[in-house]
Structure formats: structure tokens, C-alpha cells
Amino acid sequence: MKKYHKIITLLFISSITFAQKSEVDLQTRTSISLDIDFKKGWKIGTEYRAKFNQNSSNYRGSYFYLESSKKINKYLSAGAAYRFGIVDVKNFHRFAGNVEVKYKLNKLTFSLRETYQSQKQTFIGDDEGTAENYLRSRLGVKYAITKKIDFSVSTEPFMHKKDGVFETDFWRNRTGISYDYMKNKSVNLYYIWQPDVNKKYPDTKNIVGINFIFGINVK
């Protein structure tokens, strides 16, 4: 009986230790975007995003995005992106390049995007982890509920480069719904479940966000 009591006690202590070192945080994000469509498949996008962490009680920082992409053919596109972040009165720069494949089947649109990103400085405790170079593979599907409402889901591992080898740091799993409430105006509500992997005490982020999107067509 004493033997079983010791085992139960050890399991209880282990679970408490794990809980103390692994954290679950509820974060919120608010952003506004502008997408500009040009001739011959060119597109430029900008975005401002504010992040809050520590159960949405702490202002994490502001992020400014600039992206460009070119549609190569019916299925393939390529792009580049820059992000400027102001976090804890410090400036951070991130550069990325990506290639994306899309395939539409009736109301479903399947996509696969491969991204390589490099960050000048690392964010301590931020969702990019501690590595400077990342490889990201996002697999997603979008369903057109109506002409104005889309539902989407995606999953994306973030693999950082360590000693010349890419190792998964965390997974970003996202689901969201978009509504085109006016011409060239839409709103996107989304939820992200982002657990750490390959860590002794993995943290988990639950992220709720909203993005107001405006579009300009100059074709």
C-alpha cells in the first residue's frame, strides 16, 4: 500500500512541476490591412498589428508589415515580405520569401505555402522563438460558404535552423472566418492554437484576433 502511495505522490508532484514550468497564455491581436492589386498578377499588401499577451493584459508591441507577390500562373505565386516590430522599446526586423501553390475545386481552395524567414534580432519569449532563421510550411484549405463568407483552416510548423539542421519549434494551427461586408472591404475573425514542441516544458498560446482588410484594384 505504501508503494502505491509513493507512486501516486510522485505523479502528483511531477504534474505540479510541469504545470509550474509550462504556461498557457491567452493572447489577442488587432490589425488593419490594405491590399493593392495591380496588372499582370502583381500585388502589394501592408498591415499594422497590435499584440497583447499575459492573458491579454499586457501590450506586447506593434508590428508593421510590407508584402509583395507575383502570380506566376494559375496555380503558383511567389512573394517577399518585411516586418518591422517595436517591442519593449526595441526595434526588430524580419525578412521573408515564399512560394505558394493553390488549387481550386468547386467551393474549396487548397493551398501549400513554403516560407523562409530571417530575423535580425530574436524576440525573447515571442512567438518566433529564439532562432534567427526559420522554415515554415503552411497547409490550408478554404471553403466558400457564400459569395461573401469564407471559412478557412490551416496548420504550419515553424522549424528553426540549429547547427545547419531545421528542427520544429512550434506549430501554428489556425481557423477563421472572413466576411466581405462591402466592395473591397472585409473583416477576418480567427483563432490560433500554438503549442511548443521539442521542449521539456512546452508552452501553449491561444490567440484570438481580428483583421480589418481594405482593398484597391488598379488593374
pLDDT digits (tens, 9 = 90+) for 170-218: 999 999 999 999 999 999 999 999 999 988 889 999 999 999 999 999 9
Q: How many domains does the chain have?
A: 1
Residue % of the chain over a pLDDT of 90 = 73
Indicate the average pLDDT of the chain: 88
Q: What's the domain range around 86?
A: 25-217
Cα–Cα distance between 38 and 9 in angstroms, integer? Answer: 65
Cell numbers found for residue 41: 498578377
- Residue at 151 is within a domain: yes
In a domain, 9, yes or no: no
Average pLDDT value for residue range 146-152: 97
Residue listed under C-alpha cell 506566376: 72
Quote the CA–CA distance of 186 and 179 in Å, as a whole number.
5
Cα within 13 Å of Cα(165), Cβ side: 3
CATH number at residue 53: 2.40.160.40
Assigned domain for 16 exists: no
Residue 55's alpha-carbon distances to 3, 26, 120, 176, in angstroms, are 40, 4, 28, 20
Domain assignment present for residue 199? The answer is yes
18 within a domain of the structure (yes/no): no
pTM: 0.84
The answer to whether residue 1 scores a pLDDT higher than 60 is: no
DSSP conformational letter for 196: B
Per-residue model confidence (pLDDT) at position 5: 53
For 187, the grid coordinates are 473583416
**Is residue 197 included in any domain, yes or no?**
yes
pLDDT at 121: 65
Quote the Cα angle for 67-69-70, to 5°.
Answer: 165
Strand partners, 115: 98, 136
24-49 per-position pLDDT tens digit: 999 999 999 999 999 999 999 999 99
Assigned domain for 42 exists: yes
